Structure 1
């Protein structure tokens, strides 16, 4: 997965999802445990007309999300990505 850009309500993927993608979710890490923050069905996320790389859904949030995962119909993970958020510096500034 190309480095996706995550903001509240919007997910810019950089490349279209594969046809077998059914749902996409945001996950966090607490110690060694991975927890689901949100998950939306790809069919329910509205896409910008003519652009399959942008998803919009009210449940997509930035808070605590450090990993994105895409699942197929049998709930098997088919893609994983590390999102970045807009306006976040890539390195500390002083």
Structure 2
């Protein structure tokens, strides 16, 4: 997962212009907000993350070895959205 996100990060950094909003979509890019935020060029860039699937229950989420990194990635975004209110239920 990380090598692809690193490639995407390089493309975003190269193309970002002041005033742009960065939109990140779906679970396979959950780490991307934090990877972008640590770059000095993007530290103040508005980053949005949108999840199209239901967020897992805390019992399931905590079974993932990288659950802390995934949560950090999502929470680094300035705006987090979900497809439906029920999909956001376990994220609350």
Structure 2 length-normalised TM: 0.29
Larger RCO, structure (CA 8 Å, separation 6 or more): 1
Structure 1 length-normalised TM: 0.29
- Structure 1 or 2: larger helix share? 2
